[in-house]
Amino acid sequence: MLSTEGVLESGDQPCIQLEPLKSTHLPGKATPTGGSRAVSVENSPKVTANGVHDIEDRILRITGYYGYNPGYSSHRREDGSESRPETPGSDTSIESQSYQTCGNTVLKVLGGLLMVLCVSSSWVGTTQVVKLTFQSFSCPFFISWFSSNWNIFFFPIYYSGHVFTTGEKQTPIQKFRECSKLFGEDGMTLKLFVKRTAPFSILWTLTNYLYLLALKKLTATDVSALYCCHKAFVFLLSWIVLKDRFMGVRIVAAIMAITGIVMMAYADGFHGDSFVGVALAVGSASTSALYKVLFKMFLGSANLGEVAHFISTMGFFNLIFISCVPLILYFTRVEHLGSLSSLPWGYLFGLAGLWLVFNILVHVGVVLTYPILISIGTLLSVPGNAAVDVLKHEVIFSVVRLAATCIICLGFLLLLLPEEWDSVTLRFFANIADKKSEEHGEELTESSGQTRSRSQANGTISIPLA
């Protein structure tokens, strides 16, 4: 900037003097109030090290971007703080997180597959041990009562696993009281104990008792296949009672289950032990479905600890209140127990242990893996029992029974479809069609390019027609 202030005062020859830049004020513009020539830059955008921020603000100002405020470019977060540019370290952390997520998913799927094998094996073992027990001891209610008493051990097993995995130092009594909030804010009282536990315990006992009675009439394969119909009954009851979403494919699955039941009853004619066995197996599936729907209605939001607490509570209820039923059946000679030394304790302990393992795997597997895998494990018990019946017991299945079993299993698989399966399927086929169209377009482009290159190599020129 040029200045003549010193020349006018001293009277000497004028000279040119350079002064440092003090202000960015342009001529003709009004200065700020107070006579100060310094321009306030408090609200002006700050320039980053690479100048990207200032350039972006200028571009947004020139183009008139809607809602633009100076200093609020993409390099500022919502809270007003400037975002730092991405560094190789942040990319590495994102990649490591994605790898960790994929690893957790793979482990969950592998654990689910292992859980499927364990669930199906335990259920097949339970059913086959029941058939072996009936050869020397035919008291189904006593077997059901004895096995249900083992549910008491569910919560101690859960507590041991919880302490081992988390390292918490809660005492069993403290953890038991914490999980008893399932019965209400005040915990478990005698009134709530009887009110909440009695209906579920009765349904549990009826399910097991009818299942064992059906095994006396039918093969293990037929009973396990008929028991899979409980999935269709759960859907129907949930649709009617819980007002769940209506799905046409599940209605079709329910119809298939009913068709399989009718075919199974017709296999040997609508008379004799076969028809009675089918009725008992369907009754077991019905009480199981009612138990699950009521559990979902009253205790649907329970976690694993609360479920373990509830099942152990049912074991106590079974031991205290239902113990009178085996005694009544014994004195009325409906079930002849004999002496304690004559009981097949090996089979009884093995059966009760396998039944307890199955119940634990079902409830724990739903939390640790995907619930659909647990359902598949239950379904796989049908071919598992069929293999044992054919190889060990040399059972010959009729064509009608095989068709009925296949129809029931197919209906069970249809019931496993998620609620949004139709939209997911349509998107899947749409993506496939888009990929095929893109590949076809790329092939046409490549073929036209190859034709053009060949014509140029042969010296031919294509003249467009007018």
CA distances from 80 to 44, 53, 69, 83, 417 (A): 14, 14, 12, 9, 47
Q: Encoding tokens for residue 423?
A: 């939209």
Identify which has the larger pLDDT, 277 or 32.
Answer: 277
Query: pTM higher than 0.85 for the full model?
Result: no
117 confidence band (pLDDT: 50, 70, 90): very high
Tell whether the model's pLDDT for residue 95 goes beyond 80: no
DSSP state of 10: H
Domain coordinates in residue numbering, the chain = 111-421
Tell whether the model's pLDDT for residue 269 goes beyond 80: no
How large is the average pLDDT for residues 294-320? 88
CA-based nearest residue to 140, from 357, 325, 287: 325
Q: Convert the pLDDT of each residue in 178-191 to its tens digit.
A: 888 777 776 677 88
Instruction: For the chain, give the percent of residues with pLDDT over 70.
Output: 73
Q: Encoding tokens for residue 122?
A: 């335990």
DSSP state of 464: P
> How many CA atoms lie within 13 Å of 148's alpha carbon, on the beta-carbon side?
29
154 confidence band (pLDDT: 50, 70, 90): very high
C-alpha to C-alpha distance for 11 and 76, rounded to whole angstroms: 57
What pLDDT, on the 0 to 100 scale, is given for residue 219? 93
pLDDT, averaged across the chain:
78
Tell whether the model's pLDDT for residue 212 goes beyond 60: yes
Residue 144 contacts residue 319 (beta carbons within 8 Å)? no
- Please list the alpha-helical segments (H only) found in 218-271: 220-227, 230-240, 248-266
Tell whether the model's pLDDT for residue 92 goes beyond 80: no
Q: Encoding tokens for residue 120?
A: 């199906």
Identify which has the larger pLDDT, 112 or 309.
Answer: 309
Q: Convert the pLDDT of each residue in 41-60 to its tens digit.
A: 344 444 444 444 556 555 55
